[in-house]
């Protein structure tokens, strides 16, 4: 059976609403770490972290430099920093140039995640108003990971999901609720011991 080790999510315009729906679905025993790039204003307060912690059974926080990635956590890229995953499965933060007019950039996270997790990765693109993440999602798909895109007809801003689909990176196009249910099913299946 295919075993996944991590989930990466890219989201932009309209993100608060869809992430609230998706993250609040994940149960306390959800074992995959979730890493999220949401395009935020550079001086964004931590209100959104407090908001998601109130709605989510998992611990939600901004990722810290050199922090080890753990299950049971949802990590956000801090405003104005690219979020990268290192070989030892810790985070690094970068002030490098914007990618796709964005810092943090979804593509930067997805590309570094593929280097570490290879095919053991689930990549998700949600609502957003630019094409950030289309390239990164395709990389995940090409490396054998699972790629999911929010149905553009449901997305508050359809540009980001449409760009990901047009680039050929989507294994499946689903509603936010269907994405949440699929994540729960896959994780539960992984946690169930197999007896021979």
Among candidate residues 21, 77, 84, the one with its CA nearest the CA of residue 51: 21
Region 145-152: what's the mean pLDDT?
98
Structural Rg of the chain based on CA atoms: 15
Q: What is the CB neighbour count within 10 angstroms for residue 14?
A: 18
Region 149-174: what's the mean pLDDT?
96
The residues facing 36 across adjacent strands are 9, 76
The residues facing 59 across adjacent strands are 73
Residue 192 has pLDDT above 80, yes or no: no
- Side-chain-side CA neighbours of 86 within 13 Å: the count stands at 13
Region 34-58: what's the mean pLDDT?
89
Q: What's the predicted TM-score (pTM) here?
A: 0.95
Q: Show which residues are catalytic.
A: 12, 39, 132
6-190 CATH: 3.40.50.180
Higher-pLDDT residue of 115 and 39 is 115
- Side-chain-side CA neighbours of 137 within 13 Å: the count stands at 31
């Amino acid at each position: 059976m295919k075993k996944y080790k991590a989930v990466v999510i890219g989201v932009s315009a309209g993100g608060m609403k869809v992430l609230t729906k998706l993250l609040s679905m994940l149960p306390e025993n959800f074992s995959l770490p979730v890493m999220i790039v949401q395009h935020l204003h550079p001086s964004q307060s931590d209100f959104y972290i407090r908001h998601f912690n109130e709605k989510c059974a998992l611990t939600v926080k901004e990722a810290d430099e050199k922090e080890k990635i753990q299950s049971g956590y949802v990590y956000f890229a801090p405003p104005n920093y690219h979020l990268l995953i290192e070989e030892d499965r810790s985070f690094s933060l970068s002030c490098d140039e914007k990618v796709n007019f964005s810092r943090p950039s979804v593509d930067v996270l997805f590309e570094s995640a593929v280097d570490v997790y290879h095919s053991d990765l689930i990549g998700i693109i949600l609502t957003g108003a630019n094409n950030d993440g289309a390239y990164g999602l395709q990389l995940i798909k090409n490396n054998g990971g699972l790629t999911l895109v929010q149905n553009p007809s449901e997305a508050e801003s359809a540009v980001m999901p449409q760009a990901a689909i047009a680039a050929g990176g989507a294994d499946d196009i689903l509603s936010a609720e269907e994405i949440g249910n699929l994540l729960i099913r896959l994780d539960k299946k992984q946690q169930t011991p197999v007896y021979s």
